[in-house]
Amino acid sequence: MHVVTHGIGHRGQVSAVMLLNSVAPARDGFTTYLHEVEASTRRRAVA
C-alpha cells in the first residue's frame, strides 16, 4: 500500500510550493477526470 500512495505526499508538497509562489497547481487525478466527464455528460443531457 505504501508504494501505491507514496506519490500522493510528494504531489501535495509540490502543489503547496506552487501555491506559495502564486502558481496554480496542475489539475490531475481521477476526481478531476470525473468532474470533466460529468460536465460534458450534463451538457449533452441539457441540449
The domain limits of the chain are 2-46
Q: How far apart are the first and last CA of the chain?
A: 43
Specify the pTM: 0.53
Convert the pLDDT of each residue in 1-47 to its tens digit.
Answer: 787 788 888 888 998 999 999 999 877 777 788 888 887 776 666 66
- 40 grid coordinates: 460534458
Q: Return d(Cα 8, Cα 45) in angstroms, integer.
A: 34
